[in-house]
Amino acid sequence: MCFHRNNVVYCIAFALSIYLVRFLYKTITRYRASKRLNCKEPPSPPQKDRLLGLDFVYQQIVDIQKDRRNASIRELHEKYGPTFSSKFYGSRKIHTVEPQNLQAVMSTDFKSWGVEPLRLFSFDPLIGRGIMGTDGRRWEHSRALLRPAFSRKEISDLPSLEVHVQKLLDKIPRDGSTVNLRPLFTRMALDAASEMLFGESLDMLGNPTPENEAWLQAMNYGQMTLGKRMQLPQWNFFTRDAKFWASCKSVHQFVDAKIEAIARAEKDPTQQRDKHYVLAREVLKETSDPLAIRKELLNVFLPAHEATGVALTNIFFNVARHPHVWNKLRAETLQLPPGQKITYETLKSMEYLQAVISESLRLNPSIGTTSRIALSDTTLPVGGGSQGEAPIYIRKGDIFSVSFYSLHRRKDLFGEDAEQFKPERWVNNHPPRWAYLPFSGGPRVCIGQQMAVTQAAYTIVRFLQTFKDLENRDPVLEFQEQFTLSTQSRNGAKVAFTGALD
């Protein structure tokens, strides 16, 4: 017995020795590489817990609960500079709003960085493995599969969008009473997204069925919980509430039933098929696995309805507080020939309209922050040292975090008036490359960005054609953030329209 125990002890000691030797070798190798490349450490806020950084994590969670997630990160950048580091559950986290670093991580050094170790744990229960939470070949396959859904042809299909926009306009009071646009924009975006995915709208603006309403509630709760899970990676016991798992089950059953119905219709030669692009039908051509199809659809649906609904809410929030912007938009819209059909090209040619959209996305990007994790040792071009001019050595497992909210408010990039809503800054003027990223950038740039901007632009023009005046009805003038996976206006967009023209 004693001999056996000694063998176990020797084996453990040998394994620990091997681990220690490898650890020391890797540490020395990295140290030498860092010196050879003239890398230096970025500044770092003081942390009581220097091992795991739980004090910093706790403060971030508190800031989220207080709806100060974006503002608190910006305050840290104001204090410690464009690039600083912190500990995050024991990992080294580099926070940066330097365009050179963003270009490296998102484009030129793209293969050294990924999202799967950060996101998949959070996303998998609700939407599964797909374009949102995977890397490598799986991500490439999903993106290639989904790209046709966001082609120029589909983005230009504005008559299909008009059906949903008209239902939205019918919900707007004509007597000058107050309306909160946020839930209406959310439902319109849901209708448009569901039609693209399933071939039929959920009709959330019309007469939604109790089943559709229940599914929307389950989806909303699941999405809200994803935001919490992102803050507690791999600490499943903190987020494993029964309502979340019940919501995931409801979402899956609803989508599975839709897929089954579409699959049956595809096999029925008597069924007439419309000419509109339906993502579920296209994915069915690639695979008959209902689980795989569901994952692809939900990975599109999650950002698709968020991007348009949140962007429109934030745009009207800002425009309502600046009457001269509404008047300039109306003047531009009135220049369109009477009865002219609104096309994709028409919207792109409306310079001030595009400027208003860009300015709102700058001040209030739907996604305030995003992160990547180093898949291999690499470097960041700048941010190290007291002046921030030296490169930073990155070890495999380090986390890169960018606050688009902070980046877009840098006065050295957007001027001393960077805090102000000023669409005029975009007329004949563009920021430096990699300084404006409302939809991220590089190969992982949001696949639906052009569709979101086009849908928002079309909806705004239809409001301008329908109403003469827009008035703010929210006594709170400052934007108050509400964080789920995206950053929304907590107060929505409480406004009134007068002078109906229809």
Q: Tell me the average pLDDT across 257-265.
A: 90
Q: Are 420 and 409 in contact (CB under 8 A)?
A: no
Binding site residue list:
446
Q: Are 361 and 426 in contact (CB under 8 A)?
A: no
pLDDT range class, residue 19, cuts 50, 70, 90: low
Token pair in block for residue 166: 């008209």
Q: Tell me the average pLDDT across 82-97.
A: 93
Alpha carbons 250 and 256: distance in angstroms, whole number: 10
Q: Tell me the average pLDDT across 467-493.
A: 90
Alpha carbons 156 and 125: distance in angstroms, whole number: 34
Helices (H), 408-485: 411-414, 449-466
Token pair in block for residue 121: 């744990």
DSSP E strand stretches across 215-319: none
Query: Which three-class secondary structure state does DSSP give residue 499?
Result: strand
Q: Does 211 reside within a domain?
A: yes
Partnered with residue 380 across adjacent β-strands are 392
| Antiparallel, parallel or unpaired: β 91-96 and 481-483 | unpaired
Q: Which of 418, 341, 360, 337 is closest to 74 using CA atoms?
A: 418
pLDDT surpasses 70 at 424: yes
- CATH number, domain with residue 426: 1.10.630.10
Q: What pLDDT does 240 receive? A: 65
Q: What one-character DSSP code corresponds to residue 177?
A: -
Domain hosting residue 379, numbered range: 58-500
Alpha carbons 188 and 449: distance in angstroms, whole number: 17
Q: Does 204 reside within a domain?
A: yes
How far from the centroid of its chain's Cα atoms is residue 210's Cα?
29
Q: Tell me the average pLDDT across 82-109.
A: 95
pLDDT range class, residue 245, cuts 50, 70, 90: very high
Helices (H), 66-177: 69-80, 99-103, 116-127, 136-146, 152-155, 158-170
| Antiparallel, parallel or unpaired: β 467-472 and 494-500 | antiparallel
pLDDT surpasses 90 at 294: yes
Q: Are 365 and 438 in contact (CB under 8 A)?
A: yes
Q: How many CB atoms lie within 10 A of CB 321?
A: 17
Alpha carbons 96 and 42: distance in angstroms, whole number: 10
Alpha carbons 279 and 193: distance in angstroms, whole number: 10
pLDDT surpasses 80 at 12: no
Binding site residue list for heme:
446
> For the chain, what percent of residues have pLDDT higher than 70?
93
Q: Tell me the average pLDDT across 300-311.
A: 84
Q: What pLDDT does 239 receive? A: 56
Q: Tell me the average pLDDT across 72-81.
A: 94
DSSP E strand stretches across 326-480: 369-374, 378-384, 390-394, 399-403, 467-472
Q: Does 317 reside within a domain?
A: yes
Q: What pLDDT does 151 receive? A: 84
Q: Which of 254, 158, 258 is closest to 210 using CA atoms?
A: 254
pLDDT range class, residue 242, cuts 50, 70, 90: confident
Q: Does 277 reside within a domain?
A: yes
Q: Are 481 and 490 in contact (CB under 8 A)?
A: yes
Query: pTM of the entire structure?
Result: 0.91
More confident residue, 59 or 369: 369
pLDDT range class, residue 61, cuts 50, 70, 90: confident
pLDDT surpasses 90 at 411: yes
Phi, psi of 88 (to 5 degrees): -135, 100
Alpha carbons 121 and 350: distance in angstroms, whole number: 42
Alpha carbons 179 and 354: distance in angstroms, whole number: 25
Phi/psi region, residue 414 (left: phi>0; alpha: psi -120 to 50; beta: rest), is alpha
More confident residue, 1 or 496: 496
Q: Does 423 reside within a domain?
A: yes
Q: What pLDDT does 485 receive? A: 73
Alpha carbons 452 and 357: distance in angstroms, whole number: 11
Question: Locate tokens 């490169």: which residue?
Answer: 391
Which residues are CB-neighbours of 164 under 8 A, at least 6 positions away?
Answer: 188, 191, 192, 195, 201, 205
Q: What pLDDT does 179 receive? A: 97
The domain tally of the chain equals 1
pLDDT range class, residue 406, cuts 50, 70, 90: very high
Question: Locate tokens 């690499």: which residue?
Answer: 378
Q: What one-character DSSP code corresponds to residue 131?
A: T
Q: What pLDDT does 3 receive? A: 52
* E strand or H helix that includes residue 278: none
Q: Tell me the average pLDDT across 456-484.
A: 93
Q: Does 24 reside within a domain?
A: no
Token pair in block for residue 245: 């798992």
Q: What pLDDT does 66 receive? A: 75
Q: Does 355 reside within a domain?
A: yes
Q: What pLDDT does 251 receive? A: 95
Q: Tell me the average pLDDT across 384-409.
A: 95
Q: Does 303 reside within a domain?
A: yes
Read off the pLDDT of residues 100-127 as tens digits, 9 standing for 90 and up: 999 999 999 999 999 999 998 888 999 9
Mean pLDDT of the chain: 89
> For the chain, what percent of residues have pLDDT higher than 90?
61
Q: What one-character DSSP code corresponds to residue 272?
A: -
pLDDT surpasses 80 at 231: no
Q: How many CB atoms lie within 10 A of CB 133?
A: 23
Which residues are CB-neighbours of 201 under 8 A, at least 6 positions away?
Answer: 163, 164, 191, 192, 194, 195
Instruction: Specify the range with the lowest mean pLDDT, choosing from 106-115, 201-210, 228-237.
Output: 228-237
